[in-house]
């Protein structure tokens, strides 16, 4: 803690003490303490805000596209391929710096403002990014839910019963993690030609091993605690102990793992789509947009000699990075907020 932090902290403390005329303080629950420590963590708040914005953009992709662009993500216009982003010329036009470029671009596109340019078929990149984000995010969220439910269930059962159940489960998991997951996914996805729904199922059903191992370790710790013994002593069934006592006490850990999982799944989905195995065109995802854009890496404008496809290369990758980064940061921030044991280890 720096000097400045200490001083702001102590002023906050004095203020809080001054505000409390009576000694009666509100009781603090675990969650309210976590929420308070989260509220102080600016970086995590920014990340949460970012994910919120991404989610809103994805949900309202249709409305936003209609309002801003006016054409759908799959409307082609071969005459207007590789148009540069309209955003900068538009600003220059409005500021009166460059009155020529923006109207010319509008003329080429038939009056449609392509804020982030167009791809090789003249499709609007902004619209494709929005719709692609919808696909990528919903796949990652649903797959993460499947993976977490499976992982928590299997991990809890293995950790709770230990013995041969644990041995069998761990052998199974260790076998599967001996194959680099990406190859496992490549095989499955190549064989079954997925649509968004089946891809979600594959990612979910092949993504729970880490969570299960993590949960198992956690259950090993928790089941030795007194309250588990107390529950057993009053005759609680195994199922009750597991799902009413152990799992709720692991919820902080589960939340942290889920946030990081969603980030990972966005990455994995984009890798598969990039390799040409995930969601197939014309449906846009950030990964397969990059797969296309990559083919035009060397394409230069015959007149100016400048690369044509820069805007197609930058935006999808940037969005993947920012989204994944946000989920990782949320995972980190939640770890600090939810896990008091780790709080001092930073």
Partner 1 sequence: MTRYIIRRLLQAIPTLIGVSIISFALAYSAPGDPVMMFTFDPNITQEAREALRHQLGLDQPIPLQYIRWFTGLTIRQGDQVAALSTDDTRCTFLGGVTVCDSGEGVIRGKLGTSMQTKQPVWDRLVERIPATLELGVTSLLLALFIGVPLGVLSAVYRGSIFDNLVRFFSVVGQAVPSFWMGIMLIFVFGVILGWLPTGGRQTVSLTQEFDLVDRIRHLILPSIVLAMGGIAVFSRIMRTETLEVINTDYVRTAKAKGLGYTRLYFVHAFRNALIPMMTLLGPAILGVLGGAVVIETVFAWPGMGRLTLSAVFQRDYPMVLGAVMVFSIFTILGNLLSDILYGVVDPRVRLK
Closest CB 15 distance from partner 1, rounded Å: 26
CA distance linking residue 334 with residue 346, whole number of Å = 14
* 329 lies in the binding site for partner 1 (CB under 8 A): yes
Position 203 contacts partner 1 (CB under 8 A):
no
Q: Give yes or no for residue 166 binding partner 1 (CB under 8 A).
A: no
For residue 334 the two structure tokens come to: 């939640």
C-beta separation of 334 from 35 below 8 A: no
Decide if residue 132 touches partner 1 (CB under 8 A): no
Query: Does residue 186 touch partner 1 according to CB under 8 A?
Result: yes
Q: What is the rounded CA–CA span in Å between residue 306 and residue 88?
A: 17
Question: With contact defined as beta carbons under 8 Å apart, do 83 and 122 qualify?
Answer: yes
ω into 274 cis (within 30 of 0): no
Contacts of 54 (CB under 8 A, 6+ apart): 133, 137, 323, 326
Torsion, Cα 141 146 147 151, to 10 degrees, reads 140
State yes or no: residue 190 binds partner 1 (CB under 8 A).
yes
Smallest separation, CB 91 to partner 1 (Å): 25
Looking at beta carbons only, is 85 or 316 nearer to partner 1?
Answer: 316
Q: Where are the alpha helices (DSSP H) in the chain?
A: 3-19, 30-40, 42-59, 61-68, 87-94, 101-109, 125-161, 163-177, 181-192, 196-205, 209-222, 226-233, 238-240, 247-249, 251-274, 286-294, 310-338
- One residue of 6, 68, 297, 343 binding partner 1 per CB under 8 A: 297
Q: Does 270 interact with partner 1 (rule: CB under 8 A)?
A: yes
Between 206 and 219, CB nearer to partner 1:
206
Task: Determine the size of the site formed for partner 1 (CB under 8 A).
Answer: 49
CB closer to partner 1, 204 vs 316: 316
Q: Does 164 interact with partner 1 (rule: CB under 8 A)?
A: no
The tokens of 296 are what?
């035009």
Contact between 16 and partner 1 (CB under 8 A)? no
- Using DSSP's 3-state secondary structure scheme, residue 118 falls into strand
316 binds partner 1 (CB under 8 A): yes
Q: Is 112 in the site for partner 1 (CB under 8 A)?
A: no
Q: Does 307 bind partner 1 (CB under 8 A)?
A: yes
Closer residue to partner 1 in complex, CB, 121/313? 313
Tell me the C-alpha distance between 195 and 199, whole Å.
6
Q: Give the residue among 130, 138, 73 at the shortest CA–CA distance from 269.
A: 138
When binding is defined by CB under 8 A, the residue of 267, 279, 330, 337 that contacts partner 1 is 267
Q: Which residues bind partner 1 (CB under 8 A)?
A: 2, 171-172, 174-184, 186-188, 190-192, 263, 267, 270-271, 274-277, 287, 290, 293-294, 297-298, 307, 310, 313-314, 316-317, 320-322, 324-325, 328-329, 332, 345
């Amino acid at each position: 803690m720096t000097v400045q932090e200490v001083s702001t902290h102590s002023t906050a403390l004095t203020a809080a003490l001054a505000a409390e005329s009576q000694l009666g303080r509100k009781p603090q629950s675990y969650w309210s303490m976590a929420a308070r420590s989260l509220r102080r963590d600016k970086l995590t708040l920014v990340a949460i805000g970012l994910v919120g914005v991404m989610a809103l953009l994805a949900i309202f992709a249709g409305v936003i596209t209609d309002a801003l662009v006016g054409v759908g993500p799959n409307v082609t216009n071969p005459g207007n391929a590789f148009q540069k982003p309209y955003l900068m010329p538009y600003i220059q036009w409005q500021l009166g710096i460059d009155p020529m470029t923006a109207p010319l671009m509008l003329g080429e596109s038939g009056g449609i403002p392509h804020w982030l340019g167009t791809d090789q078929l003249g499709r609007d990149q902004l619209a494709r990014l929005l719709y692609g984000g919808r696909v990528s995010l919903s796949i990652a969220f649903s797959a993460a839910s499947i993976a977490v439910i499976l992982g928590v269930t299997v991990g809890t059962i293995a950790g709770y019963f230990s013995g041969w159940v644990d041995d069998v489960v761990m052998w199974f998991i260790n076998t599967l993690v001996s194959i680099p997951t990406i190859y496992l996914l490549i095989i499955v996805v190549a064989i079954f030609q997925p649509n968004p729904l089946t891809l979600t199922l594959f990612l979910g059903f092949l993504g729970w091993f880490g969570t299960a191992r993590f949960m198992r370790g956690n259950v090993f710790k928790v089941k030795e605690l007194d309250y588990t013994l107390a529950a057993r002593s009053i005759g609680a069934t195994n199922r009750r102990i597991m799902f009413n006592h152990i799992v709720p006490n692991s919820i902080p850990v589960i939340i942290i793992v889920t946030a990081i999982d969603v980030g990972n799944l966005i990455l994995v989905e984009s890798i598969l789509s990039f390799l040409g195995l995930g969601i197939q065109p014309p449906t846009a995802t950030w990964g397969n947009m990059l797969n296309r854009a990559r083919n035009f890496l060397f394409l230069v404008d015959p007149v100016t000699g400048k690369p044509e496809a820069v805007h197609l290369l930058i935006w999808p990758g940037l969005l993947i990075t920012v989204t994944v980064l946000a989920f990782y940061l949320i995972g980190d921030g939640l770890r600090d907020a939810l896990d008091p044991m780790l709080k001092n280890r930073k």
